[in-house]
Amino acid sequence: MGGVASEPSGQWSIRINIPACSLELLQDGEVWREFPIAVGKATTPTPVGEFTISNIIKNPTWYPVGKPPVPPGAENPLGGYWLGLSIASYGVHGNNNVSSIGYPQSNGCIRMLNNDLQVLVGLVRVGTPVEIVYETVILKNILDKTWLTIFPDIYHRQTELKTAILRKIDEHPLLYPVHWEALWQFIGGKRPLVIEAPQKLPLLLDGVESQSAGFIWGDNVFLPSELTGIWGVESHKNYLELTEFMRLYAGQVYGIFDQQEKKISLYTLRIYCNGDLFPIRGWYQDEPFLPIKLVTFLQEKLITISRMSPLERSSFAEGEEAWVPLSVIKRCWPQLIVEWDALNWILRIDY
């Protein structure tokens, strides 16, 4: 046997956030429904504080200052209902200008769409609590992601956005550590802005945790572009997507993102010269290649120690002046002790 759906029951309250231009109807402290609204202009701001509904008037008459009263009807900017607040001259009401909803365009009152206000009037009563706040940052945890919504500071009351974000994060438990540097970079631009907080990921370079961290944002994993410096390259980007990084440095690095442990592991061709790790990594294509800076260093040492001749330019292929194949090094300088560990990508050179 079919039944009739009953109206929601419980203790109702209203929460209005001015920068968000939103009115939340709460049932027993939980958001039951959210409505778009218009709030006061910067020159006629909506007041902040805790109030109650003091009266509910159907088909109200509007009494503008210095002008004749406007009776109920299509020309009345109050719409079909007036919900007066316990602060003189302010209330929640309907409207005759739908395009104003979602913007700071009123003289301080809260405007709603007429159909939305009809829903509200059917549930709230005189005495219903109304809280009006000014929050430019909203944080929500949805599934396994933390989302920030940043609204315009319409009344210019926000001292610093970073401070507001950190304060909001202090009020809510985070699902994961945030990569702050990336977040600060991403929050520039227009408002409102909805953004996923980038999750900080430990970054292991050749088995050693790096001081710089990566992060996951959306479905992509990102690395700090400063990593390009280990091949003597300077990047103009702040971050590089992991697959792009692997493509750009194919043969020079391979990487693994562990989805379970949430960490990134990168492995490079390391070159040890007399036991010391050379700061610039090599790369591999059929055989290891050495950076020309290391070759120059070795050449200077060998000339000094054994008076060996400099490596001839013709010893390696045209266009490869930045890298020299290991086979060329071994052929030209046979006195070097060379050990290549192909499994672990480690090249040891002693002179």
What's the number of domains the chain is made of? 4
Picking from 216, 251, 268, the residue at the C-terminal end of a domain is 268
- For residue 246, give its domain range: 200-268
The torsion angle over the Cα atoms of residues 234, 239, 242 and 243, rounded to 10 degrees, is -70
The reply to whether 1 falls in a domain is: no
Alpha-carbon distance values, 98 to 63, 79, 103, 113, 141 (Å)? 21, 11, 11, 7, 32
The reply to whether 4 falls in a domain is: no
Picking from 242, 268, 294, the residue at the C-terminal end of a domain is 268
CA distance 128 to 94: 18
In the block, tokens 């697959």 appear at 243
Residue among 121, 132, 131, 133 nearest 55 (CA): 121
What pLDDT score does 8 carry? 60
Do 17 and 120 share a domain, yes or no? yes
Do 19 and 124 share a domain, yes or no? yes
CA distance 174 to 185: 20
What pLDDT score does 319 carry? 43
| Residue 146 one-letter amino acid | T
Do 226 and 327 share a domain, yes or no? no
Residues 6+ apart with CB under 8 A from 214: 179, 200, 201, 202, 203, 221, 222, 223, 224, 242, 264
Tell me what the mean pLDDT of segment 156-175 comes to: 87
| Residue 255 one-letter amino acid | G
Q: For residue 78, give the CATH number of its domain.
A: 2.40.440.10
Do 121 and 67 share a domain, yes or no? yes
Q: Which of 29-33, 90-94, 223-227, 228-232 has the lowest mean pLDDT?
A: 228-232
Do 80 and 43 share a domain, yes or no? yes
Do 25 and 93 share a domain, yes or no? yes
What pLDDT score does 1 carry? 40
Do 127 and 33 share a domain, yes or no? yes
CA distance 340 to 327: 11
Of residues 176 and 172, the one with the higher pLDDT is: 176
CA distance 103 to 50: 22
Question: Catalytic amino acids?
Answer: 93, 109
Do 105 and 51 share a domain, yes or no? yes
CA distance 177 to 169: 11
In the structure encoding, which two tokens stand for residue 104, read together? 């700071």
In the block, tokens 């926000």 appear at 158
In the structure encoding, which two tokens stand for residue 273, read together? 């010269």
Picking from 79, 112, 133, the residue at the C-terminal end of a domain is 133
Tell me what the mean pLDDT of segment 304-330 comes to: 64
The reply to whether 163 falls in a domain is: yes
The reply to whether 191 falls in a domain is: yes
> Exposure of 134 by Cβ count < 10 A (0-12 exposed, 13-18 middle, 19+ buried)?
buried
The reply to whether 21 falls in a domain is: yes
Does residue 3 register a pLDDT over 80?
Answer: no
Tell me what the mean pLDDT of segment 258-277 comes to: 94
Do 27 and 129 share a domain, yes or no? yes
Does residue 44 register a pLDDT over 50?
Answer: yes
Do 128 and 16 share a domain, yes or no? yes
| Residue 166 one-letter amino acid | L
The reply to whether 328 falls in a domain is: yes
Do 26 and 101 share a domain, yes or no? yes
The reply to whether 94 falls in a domain is: yes
Do 25 and 75 share a domain, yes or no? yes
Does residue 131 register a pLDDT over 60?
Answer: yes
The reply to whether 287 falls in a domain is: yes
